[in-house]
Structure formats: C-alpha cells, structure tokens
A = this chain, B = another copy of it.
C-alpha cells in the first residue's frame, strides 16, 4: 500500500540557521523559504536525489508545530510522509486494522496541494505518519 517516502519533516527553531547547516555543512541543495500561512509554517525543501527533507518553522499564531517546539526546543524530526495511490482506501484499511486517523479521518489539502491524512503516533511506534495521495 504505502509507496515512496515523500519527505522527512524536521521542525527547527531557526530556519535560516538550519538552512545554512544543510547548505554549507552538509552541502545539500536547499530551496528558498516558502510561507504557508494556511498551514501555519514556513518551509524550506532540501532536495536529495531520492526524496526530500522539509525544514519547518512555526509561522503566525497557533502554528501546529509550536507545541512540538515547546517540547523539543532544539527541534527534531516531526513526521515522515509516505505516498499512497488511493488515500480513502488506505484510510479504510488502516481503520479496519485498528489504527487511528487524526482529525476525524477526512483528508485535508496538505502543504503540497494534495490530499493528506495523519496517523496517530501511538499506533506507529511513536512516529507521526502523514499519508499523501499522489
């Protein structure tokens, strides 16, 4: 069911500093910062040959990553995103297996403009999983 690892999302307290680390110290290809006010984050994409790393910082009030940063002041890996071909079929299979889908189980439009769902970390070894329909 799950396909490619679409991205690893890392929440950081200081986006320019994180960008400098990935660009200068790790020599990665780093894009420009993008504000996504409807998602409450500012994001930078790090392009690797086979997937992406997304560096996120809170944007505006009540950002969904604010709480994470409160618990992890230095930042940390926030979630992984796996691609699926049929998000509703994936959801139904997951729910049937006993896994919990966050936010009522209805897909929302994610940061890439595609339908996404998040799975409860307690059902997946403490890992927040995003599923994105591709």
Contacts and interface: CB of A to CB of B under 8 A. Distances in A.
A128 B80 CA distance: 15
Interface stretch (A45-53, A59-67, A102-110): A45-53
Interface in A1-40: 1-5, 8, 10-13, 18, 21, 24-28
A120 B54 CA distance: 19
For chain A, the bracket of interface size reads: 35 or more
A29 to B, nearest CB: 9
Nearest to A94: B25
Interface of A: 1-5, 8, 10-13, 18, 21, 24-28, 48-51, 53, 55, 72, 74-77, 80, 82, 93-94, 97-99, 121-127, 129
